Amino acid sequence: MYKKAKYFISGNDIIETENFDIKELEIGFSVYEVVKIIGGIPLFFEDHLRRLYQSAKLINTEIPFKEEEIKEAVNKLIQINTINEGRLKFAVRFHKSENKLICFFLKPIMTTEDYYKNGVKIISIQAKRENPNAKVINYGLRTYINKMIEENNIFEVLLYNKKHIISECGKSNIFFVKDAVIYTSFSENVLSGITGSYISEICENENIKITNCNIKLSDITEYEAAFITGTSIAVLPIKQIDSCSFSANNRIIHLLSDNYNRIVTNYIESKELQ
């Protein structure tokens, strides 16, 4: 919860932030999305809604709210908090017959120009999401990831399984670059990222090859560069994973970043005209 946001929405109620109780989301289970707000507009909102309904379908349940209801709640929260730039989480909480839509602002992820110029540091941890394609709240894993990030003073964590095969990062998708080819995990092993899907689209348009494969943690030294993608961070180069260093000054990463930023700008401008 972002303390500078005055209100959150729980069901039909607008409630002051100081009364927010995260345990409400821990009752039963929740599917959720985190959307970036730019100029008061939820970025790629349609994509996030599509993935929300898909997450519910993957766990054999159904969202009891129409898209318009969710859009109305999210836009209302932006307006009443007068926050035009930030991160907003909307979740559908399932518990017996009391299903509820809960929307609230999250603390911004702090990025700097240096991060995009020189890259960020991450470390690897052994962890596995039970159903990686479904965006379901898992507080045990989330708490562990946040603890590792804070204790090690790093930006993100890289997840690998018992066979030391890389899947994704805690809050982002990861890609590796070698000889102008991009390598990433198989889609069934990761949460399909909204930003990552646009990266795939850019690669197709720019004739950049993407290869899905099993990448072992011990093999990352073979790659020239690496980057992560996510709703809040866009395309962010990596300078170090554990003790392995990478170059952030990579032509492919720059090309993807520039193209993605143009897509974001075009989306926001199109919504402003509506």
| pLDDT value of residue 132 | 74
- Over range 238-248, report the average pLDDT: 97
Residue where one domain finishes, among candidates 106, 134, 154 = 106
Domain match, 61 and 121 both: no
Which residues form the domain of 30?
A: 7-106
106, 140, 163: which is the final residue of a domain? 106
Give the model confidence (pLDDT) of 46-90 as tens digits: 999 999 999 999 999 999 999 999 999 999 999 999 999 999 999
Q: Please give the average per-residue pLDDT across 95-104, as a whole number.
A: 88
Whether residue 80 is found in the same domain as residue 132: no
**Region 34-43: what's the mean pLDDT?**
97
- 72 and 166 co-located in one domain: no
Q: Which residue has the tokens 């821990």?
A: 26
Helix (H) or strand (E) holding 198: helix 194-205
Please check whether residue 2 lies inside any domain of the structure. no
In a domain, 51, yes or no: yes
**Greatest extent of the chain over all pairs of C-alpha atoms, in Å:** 54
User: Do 135 and 246 belong together in one domain?
Assistant: yes
pLDDT of 227 over the 90 cut: yes
Q: What is the three-class DSSP state of 255?
A: helix
Residue 259 sits in the same domain as residue 125: yes
The answer to whether residue 231 is domain-embedded is yes
Q: Is the dihedral of CA 189, 191, 195, 198 positive or negative?
A: positive
Q: Strand pairing of 234-241 and 120-126?
A: parallel
CATH number at residue 237: 3.20.10.10
pTM for the whole structure: 0.93
Specify whether the CB–CB gap between 205 and 197 falls below 8 A: no
**119-159 confidence digits (pLDDT tens):** 999 999 998 777 777 788 787 888 899 999 999 999 999 99
For residue 174, what pLDDT is reported?
96
Q: Which of 237, 231, 252, 250 lies closest to 106, judged by CA? A: 231
Whole-number pLDDT of residue 188: 78
User: In the chain, helix, strand, coil percent, each to 5?
Assistant: 35, 30, 35
Both 22 and 49 in a single domain?
yes
The predicted pLDDT at position 247 comes to 94
| Co-location of 162 and 253 in the same domain | yes
Q: In this model, does residue 161 exceed pLDDT 80?
A: yes
- Residues 121 and 90 occupy one common structural domain: no
Domain final residue pick, 106, 122, 145: 106
Q: Are residues 169 and 185 in the same domain?
A: yes
For residues 139 and 200, membership in a common domain is answered with: yes
In a domain, 168, yes or no: yes
Q: Report the pLDDT value the prediction gives residue 21, as an integer from 0 to 100.
A: 78
pLDDT tops 80 at residue 243: yes
Percent of the chain with pLDDT over 70: 100
Same domain, 97 and 222: no
- How many domains does the chain divide into? 2
pLDDT at 191: 78
Residues 151, 251 within the same domain? yes
Q: What is the CATH number of the domain that holds 28?
A: 3.30.470.10
Q: How high is the pLDDT of residue 138?
A: 81
Among residues of the chain, what percentage have pLDDT more than 90? 78
